[in-house]
Amino acid sequence: MKFYTEIIQVYSQKINFYTALLIFFVIPIYTWWLPFIINFWILTWLLQGNFKANFKSGINTKILFTYLAYFGFLALSLLWSSNLKNGYTTFETQLCFVIAPVLFYASNKIYIEKKQWFLYSFIGGSVVSGIFLLGRAFYRAITFTNGVFSFNPIVDGVWEKRNVFFSTEFSFLEHPTYLSMYFLISLLLLLFFRASSFSKQKKYISTVLIIFMGILFFLLSSRSSYILILILLVAAFFRFTIRVKIGIFAFIILFLGLMIFFQYFDVGFRGLTFNDSKSGEINMNIIDKLKKGITLEDIKNSDPRITIWGNAAEIIKQNPIFGVGVGDVKNELVKTYTKNNERWAVDKKFGAHNQYLETMVGQGIVGFVLLMLFVCLSFYVAFTKKNSVWILVLVVITFYMFFESMLNSFAGVVFITMFGSFFSFIRNQNIIFLNTSKVET
């Protein structure tokens, strides 16, 4: 009997590890497959046993407590929520704040031995996702009529004609902002892998994939992503001015040049025209608008988030300490939109589109402090371990949280908790990139 138990445990450990890899692979492809895979991941973790030893070997316990504290207070806020249906939905969405950190904290030794496979899996999933999106776009754009080949990427949109290779027309399985984040993380990981590789073949493959990810990132046309990549490029310029190779500067100049080119010659995809986001009316090319001058009202009308953030701030002022409760966030926002005659926001029932504000609306200052405790402690440990990759991933995540309520979507929660747990609780990650920093013991 003991023999069979040991066999079950050994195979459960292997299956548990490969199931975790599958989660990383599927994240950039199709989020709706993930609940089934995560449930199976939990089952294999339970079957492998050896919990006491696994928990004893865990590291960064304080970060684990920040995950649990944030989720615990979110669950507690159900007590002062009137809309329990919405509250339970959000509760279920954020269950990964418990599942991912606990399973990584008490993971088996295979996770440590093959840690780099997690990053390879995510990059592989991003590549598959990109190939599928490009294939679909070409399929929509290419037609054969009476033996005549034609290529027409333009389709009718809600307010204007759209290009099947850009923005929401290109990204149909997931929001462009989330896919932009996935491709950007993959691009950054590939840059690190290329820099740490001594094999010419691996460098060539990495270079090709970096270019591919850069193209996908550009096609998604996420304005918040453009802002972030510019910040990262400027930071990289100052960080590596002395010892960077000229090829990287050429890549930066080419990237910026392409952005300016497409901004100037309006090709009809989102973000290249200055439009009223509430009515959809196209005013003019953004270059022409810059020449004539942009007013504060223009900026407010160009992105609904600015108006939404103002409405969220009103709710926070009325419920500063504990918030309105996790179940009432959407209801209270809609009430405020109605009061302020923001009909367009009422019709679409917009969330706060900012995770920090969304948390303060739902869980008040207490919830916000717990969220920031999780973020700041993660940054502190990443800097302490001199883990540059983890630092960059945290920068990307915290930046995107300014523009999206990432913890209100399953895609955002799974991505943040899986990556955060991997970097927080798996030992000796610096050796993945041949870093000579201190090894964890």
Give the pLDDT confidence of 19-36 residue by residue, as tens digits.
Answer: 999 999 999 999 889 999
Domain locations along the chain? 2-106+116-431
CB 378 within 8 A of CB 420: yes
Q: pLDDT tens-digit profile of 340-366?
A: 988 888 888 889 999 999 999 999 999
Give the DSSP letter string of 124-179.
Answer: HHHHHHHHHHHHHHHHHHEEEETTEEEE--EEE-SSSEEETTSHHHH--SS-HHHH
Reduced DSSP (H G I as helix, E B as strand, rest coil) percent helix, strand, coil of the chain, to 5: 70, 5, 25
Give the DSSP per-residue string, 214-250: HHHHHHT--HHHHHHHHHHHHHHHHHSTTT--HHHHH
User: How many other C-beta atoms are found inside a 10 Å radius of the C-beta of residue 155?
Assistant: 12
Look up residue 73 and give its DSSP letter: H
Give the pLDDT confidence score for residue 162 in this predicted structure.
Answer: 81
The model carries a pTM of: 0.85
Q: At 40, is the secondary structure helix, strand, or coil?
A: helix
Distance CA 345, CA 234 (A): 35
Contact between 347 and 382 (Cβ < 8 Å): no
Q: Which strand (E) or helix (H) includes residue 341?
A: none
How far apart (Å, rounded) are the C-alpha atoms in residues 64 and 62?
Answer: 5
C-beta separation of 164 from 153 below 8 A: yes
If you search the block for the tokens 């953004």, which residue do you land on?
286
pLDDT at 1: 55
The pLDDT profile of the chain, 441 residues, written as one tens digit per residue, is 565 567 778 889 999 999 999 999 999 999 889 999 999 999 999 998 888 888 988 889 999 999 999 999 999 999 999 999 999 999 999 999 999 999 999 998 899 999 999 999 999 999 999 999 999 999 999 988 777 888 888 887 655 678 888 888 898 888 888 999 999 999 999 988 888 877 888 889 999 999 999 899 888 867 777 778 777 766 666 555 444 455 555 555 555 555 544 443 433 344 334 344 444 444 444 445 555 555 555 555 556 788 899 999 999 999 999 999 999 999 999 999 999 988 888 888 889 999 999 999 999 999 999 999 999 999 999 999 888 889 989 999 999 999 899 999 999 999 999 999 999 999 766 555 544 344 443
pLDDT of 270: 41
pLDDT (0 to 100) of residue 36: 96
Q: What is the pLDDT of residues 220-232, one digit of tens each?
A: 867 777 778 777 7
Q: What is the pLDDT of residue 249?
A: 53
CA angle, residues 427, 384, 430, in degrees to nearest 5: 40
Residues paired with residue 223 on neighbouring β-strands, in sequence order: none
What does the block give as tokens for 111? 């996770």
Give the pLDDT of residue 269: 40
383 phi/psi in degrees, rounded to 5:
-70, -40
Q: What is the pLDDT, as a whole number, of residue 192?
A: 87
